[in-house]
Amino acid sequence: MFTAYTADQIRTAERALMATLPRGTLMLRAATGLAAVCAAMLPRVYGSRVVLLVGSGDNGGDALHAGAVLARRGAGVTAVLAGSRVHEAGLAALLAAGGVSRKPGGGDDVRRAVEGADLIVDGLVGIGASGALREPYAGLAETAGHAAAPVVAVDVPSGVDASTGRVEGGAVRAAVTVTMGALKTGLLVDPGAVYAGRVELIDIGLGPYLPGPDVAALTRASVRATLPRPAAASDKYRRGVVGVVAGSDQYTGAAVLAVGGALHAGAGMVRYAGPSRPVGQVRARWPEAVVTELDEPSIDDVGRVQAWVLGPGLGTGRWARELVLRVLATDVPVLVDADGLNVVAHDVSLLRRTAPVLITPHAGELARLTGAARGDIEAAPLAHARAAAAELGVTVLLKGSTTVVAEEGEPARVNGTGTPWLATGGTGDVLSGIAGSLLAQGLGARDAGSCAAYLHGLAGRIAADGAPLTAAAVAEALPAAIRSLDEESARSRLP
Ligand SMILES: NC(=O)C1=CN([C@@H]2O[C@H](COP(=O)(O)OP(=O)(O)OC[C@H]3O[C@@H](n4cnc5c(N)ncnc54)[C@H](OP(=O)(O)O)[C@@H]3O)[C@@H](O)[C@H]2O)[C@@H](O)CC1
Ligand SMILES: [K+]
């Protein structure tokens, strides 16, 4: 599991570590790691042109010291000193190594240097930043955004809030973010994750001083360890039976896709209940599913299940409302998605029950549940998912380009395995099926949601392979995704 921390948590840990070391040691460790990543991004260091955007704090100090290392190896390094102050030791090291410095007010000079660079290092602000970037930082971030060279952000892309991932105004778009000591929450959640690019973690010895994490991201190894595997004595009932209440005469595909997700995610059996048209399609597509055709909105004849998937394509009329009431009145875990959420939006107290509830909204659906504005949710998904989990008393899986799973009193989980190709109709129905299947197999709601998001993203990548995918193909790629967990379990990179 990757763990990430807020700026305050990092500061506290850094203070404790720094007290045990000679002054400046941590920055030199950070700068050495940073310089190594920069060097690896250049075809060759000697003769390359590197521009450092340097703010007034220690983030700028990291950049200057790394620039000194690159200058000693023959790079032409120009530091643009954006702050009213500068890290003096860092600047002295750079100048002694043959680097030069400029002020951003120097007309076209700075713009030309940035545009002509082979590599740009963003050392404007790190965990000491507050609020939107001020000038001249904001202008420099924009200039860097137009340059052809890749940008390496030091610790966090300047303009991204390290603790929350919020971006007020502009921010640096990095190809790579080299983060010091530990991951920051803002690098893993939207919108910050989009600005961070690939994240490289430099070990500076902070580990023993870190508290419990703010958020965590699953890895292949942790998903593999969490997923239930059938034992020799397992039978289909003991592996978990999942019931799917989804689809309608109008929306038949949602039923087919939710059942497809559930079947491929390891449940021993999938029971589907719905009206005649989706029943016919589910039966034709998935003969493995046990189907019950409903003449009235009741689940009395469906048989025993260990968890329900409730909602995709269900509609929002009387039939749907009745089914929602009955499924939520059972005593097993329930996953509520899509129309199920639209129904409960009229009375969120329906979600208060003894057995676990996992909801899987996108920002618009969460907005209807909590009354928050959709745009506010998209600007701060982690905070909104956490608030909704506390307010509604459920586990919230909030979909986005990175997915957040929040449960009160636990570190949130974030998932970045997805691909933009997954933004297509029906993939959410597949995700519901997967998560419901994992609930039925006995996982808690947070594990079921975060493992489902991980596998769904991985299956999406496998199904897409650089081209458009269909939701059905995502369901069918799940076994390959689960198999791939064994391939490479100890990875140093995200995800
Ligand atoms: N501590 C350690 O052990 C280690 C720390 N390390 C490194 O130090 C970094 C933290 O350094 P830090 O604390 O000096 O803060 P930092 O982010 O450089 O800048 C803060 C300054 O920026 C300014 N400023 C703030 N907001 C602004 C805005 N919106 N727009 C414009 N300017 C703004 C403001 O300055 P002012 O404007 O007041 O002059 C403020 O004082 C950390 O991210 C990591 O890279 C590593 O070397 C490992 C060891
Ligand atoms: K930075």
pLDDT of residue 230: 85
Please state the rounded mean pLDDT for residues 331-335: 98
Residue 100 CA to residue 88 CA, distance in Å, equals 14
Q: Pick the atom of ligand 1 nearest to 154's CA.
A: 45
- pLDDT (tens digit per residue) in 163-176: 999 999 999 999 99
Neighbours of ion ligand 2 (CB under 5 A): 122, 153-154, 158
Indicate whether 262 and 322 sit together in one domain.
yes
Q: Which among 333, 341, 367 is positioned nearest to 449, based on CA atoms?
A: 333
Is residue 99 located within the same domain as residue 164? yes
Q: Are residues 241 and 123 in the same domain?
A: no
Tally the domains of the chain.
Answer: 2
Instruction: Please say whether the beta carbons of 435 and 449 come within 8 A.
Output: yes
Q: State whether 117 and 258 are in the same domain.
A: no
Task: State the Cα–Cα distance between residues 176 and 37, nearest whole angstrom.
Answer: 9
Q: How confident is the model at residue 488 (pLDDT cuts 50, 70, 90)?
A: low
Q: Within a domain: residue 372?
A: yes
Describe the strand order of the beta sheet including 49-54 as a list of residue ranges.
100-102, 76-81, 49-54, 119-123, 151-154, 176-180, 198-202
- What pLDDT shows up at residue 493? 45
* 419 CB-contact burial (10 Å; exposed 0-12 / middle 13-18 / buried 19+): middle
Mean pLDDT of 176-187: 98
Q: Verify that 95 and 77 share a domain, yes or no.
A: yes
363 has a pLDDT exceeding 90: yes
Domain boundary among the residues 187, 216, 245 is at: 216
Nearest residue CA, atom 21 of ligand 1? 57
Q: How much is the average pLDDT of 79-102?
A: 98
The pLDDT of residue 106 is 65
For residues 309 and 352, membership in a common domain is answered with: yes
Q: How far apart are CA 487 and CA 492, in angstroms?
A: 14
Q: What is the mean pLDDT of residues 213-218?
A: 97
Confidence (pLDDT) at 489:
47
Q: Which ligand is nearest to the CA of 157?
A: 2
CA distance 454 to 15: 35
Query: To which H or E segment does residue 100 belong?
Result: strand 100-102
**Would you say 130 is a known binding-site residue?**
yes
- Which amino acid belongs to residue 170? G
Confidence of residue 238 (pLDDT cuts 50, 70, 90): confident
Atom of ligand 1 nearest to the CA of 162: 43
Q: Are residues 10 and 120 in the same domain?
A: yes
Averaged pLDDT score across all residues of the chain: 96
Residues with CB under 6 A from ligand 1: 14, 18, 26-27, 30, 55-60, 62, 83-85, 125-134, 137, 154-155, 180, 204
The answer, yes or no, to whether residue 495 has pLDDT greater than 80, is no
> pLDDT (tens digit, 9 = 90+) per residue, 110-124?
999 999 999 999 999
Looking at 216, 234, 268, the residue that finishes a domain is 216
Task: Using most ligand atoms within 8 A of CB, pick from 5, 37, 58 the residue to mutate for ligand 1.
Answer: 58
Q: Reduced to 3 states, what is the DSSP secondary structure of residue 170?
A: coil
Residue with CA nearest ligand 1 atom 44: 59
Instruction: Kindly state whether residue 65 falls inside one of the protein's structural domains.
Output: yes
Whether residue 240 sits in one domain with residue 155: no
Beta strands in 146-300 (DSSP E): 151-154, 176-180, 183-184, 198-202, 215-217, 241-245, 269-274, 290-293
Q: Give the model's confidence band at 179: pLDDT under 50 very low, under 70 low, under 90 confident, else very high.
A: very high
Q: Is residue 491 part of a domain?
A: no
Structure tokens at 299: 């689940």
Give per-residue pLDDT as tens, 118-155.
999 999 999 999 999 999 999 999 999 999 999 999 99
Residue 18, phi then psi, degrees to nearest 5: -60, -35
| Residue 171 and residue 195 in contact, taking contact as beta carbons nearer than 8 Å | yes
Domain assignment present for 492: no
- The answer to the question of whether 331 is labelled as a binding residue is no
Whether 338 has a binding-site annotation, put simply, is no
Position 94 pLDDT exceeds 60: yes
Q: How far apart are CA 35 and CA 178, in angstroms?
A: 10
The CATH number covering residue 270 comes to: 3.40.1190.20
The mean per-residue pLDDT over the stretch 454-462 comes to 97
On whether both 144 and 287 belong to a single domain, the answer is no
313 in a known ligand binding site = yes
Distance CA 272, CA 242 (A): 9
Name the residue range of residue 115's domain: 2-216
- Cα 345 from Cα 30, distance rounded (Å): 48
Q: Is 494 among the domain residues? A: no
Give me the count of residues in the chain: 495
- Can you tell me the distance from the alpha carbon of 41 to that of 472, in angstroms, rounded to the nearest whole number? 38
pLDDT above 60: residue 492: no
Mean pLDDT over 198-217 rounds to: 97
Domain boundary among 216, 232, 247: 216
CATH number at residue 133: 3.40.50.10260
Give the pair of three-digit tokens for residue 173: 């778009």
Kindly state whether residue 239 falls inside one of the protein's structural domains: yes
Q: Span 453-472, mean pLDDT?
A: 97
Tell me which residue of 215, 182, 218, 195 sits closest to 438, measured CA to CA.
Answer: 218
Cβ atoms 398, 384 nearer than 8 A: yes
361 and 449 share a domain? Answer: yes
Q: Based on the domain organization, do 28 and 123 belong to the same domain?
A: yes
Say which residues have a Cβ less than 8 Å from residue 18's Cβ, sequence separation at least 6: 25, 26
Q: Are residues 19 and 151 in the same domain?
A: yes
Please report which helix (H) or strand (E) contains residue 33, including its range: helix 25-41
Q: Note whether residue 495 is domain-resident.
A: no
> Which residues, in sequence order, are bridge partners of residue 152?
121, 176
Q: How deeply is 247 buried, as exposed, middle or buried, from its count of CB atoms within 10 A (0-12, 13-18, 19+)?
A: buried
| 493 located within any domain | no
Alpha helices of 229-336 — where are they, by DSSP H?
A: 253-264, 276-285, 318-328
